[in-house]
Structure 1
């Protein structure tokens, strides 16, 4: 399970140039990746976690970094991540931070939509409740709204057996159906 935060970075011309991600992993994954790195109550350092951070951002390329951005309904393309790191917080949870540049800056004048999800739903993503998406350097008047899908009903969850997930086609994109969406609009 991952709690996601995103910052949409605007350039001087008022277009979105990058997305800064901060993904905080659950206690099980965090314990797994930090096991054996420290003794006692010491926290793993960014330096100790740097090789894993590099591996994570490189391997996520296959999945488009679990990030879907759309400007006026058209998917945007991303360049390779920059400024990436993993860090362990005082709560012992590990957070992956990386900046995902857009290959071509995108306007938010006709709305920009952002979703963060694993299409296979192997990793469950949820936007942070308090500060899910923030804007960095936006033009005056920009706003952000969050849309959350309806929770699955009992009838839906009963269909989610192991065989359901095993038989998903590569194009099923089940994670998209359960993913929250941030809508950013600028005048």
Structure 2
């Protein structure tokens, strides 16, 4: 079951009674670490994505025993499938270096966990194709262009730095608020007719900026 297929099945199973519901359908709370090499270059981003209770319940169907959440080992096959399927969507993570797009390699250290309340969190690391000098502007956004999935940064400690050189910092550039007319557009019909490459989700995504002296 891929992540996106899981989302779609979830909607069919749980939202059939509300056909007029607008986007988004799945909500994800995000924590991210910007990773550095020992010599101070930016080498990648490590994510922890915590899903809403409805998607978590769908993902955990048939897993776990005696009312307990499933173990990391039980969730390993789903974690692997999710990581493979997310490649098609660039892992919903879009980075820029010196204002030009930069690419990530395949994900590493992918695993899922479910807490005592059976809320699912996906952990994975996206390495840059090559480490980049930290003294140049680096930034990234996490979003679904179609806004089927809403990614929101956690309220506290959403972005941290690991092994960063002294003086490095992060800042979050919040998106501009939607106009009332844009809010009215968030209907199923609007998204069904949206042209490819419209990147509506980008308008609603915060940008994380890393700055080093």
The yes-or-no answer on 1:170 pairing with 2:196 is yes
- When the two chains are superposed, the root-mean-square deviation of aligned CA atoms in Å is 1.2
Distance 2:46 2:116 in 1: 22
Match of 1:127 in 2: 153
How far does the alpha carbon of each residue in 1:113-158 deviate from its partner, in whole angstroms, 9 at most, with x for none? 1111111111110011101110000111001101111332322211
Distance 1:35 1:53 in 2: 15
Match of 1:56 in 2: 82
Runs (4+) off by over 6 Å: none
Report matched runs for 1:171-186 at 5 Å. Answer: 171-186=197-212
Distance 2:55 2:199 in 1: 23
Q: Judge which range, 71-80 or 20-29, deviates more.
A: 71-80
The yes-or-no answer on 1:71 pairing with 2:97 is yes
Distance 2:106 2:212 in 1: 26
Q: 1:113 aligns with which of 139, 143, 146?
A: 139
Distance 2:36 2:115 in 1: 28
Distance 2:185 2:60 in 1: 35
The yes-or-no answer on 1:150 pairing with 2:180 is no
Tell me the CA shift for residue 28 of structure 1: 0.3
Q: Which runs of 5+ in 2 are unaligned?
A: 1-26
Match of 2:126 in 1: 100
The normalised TM-score by structure 2 is 0.84
How far does the alpha carbon of each residue in 1:18-69 deviate from its partner, in whole angstroms, 9 at most, with x for none? 2111000000010111122124431111111111100111000011110011
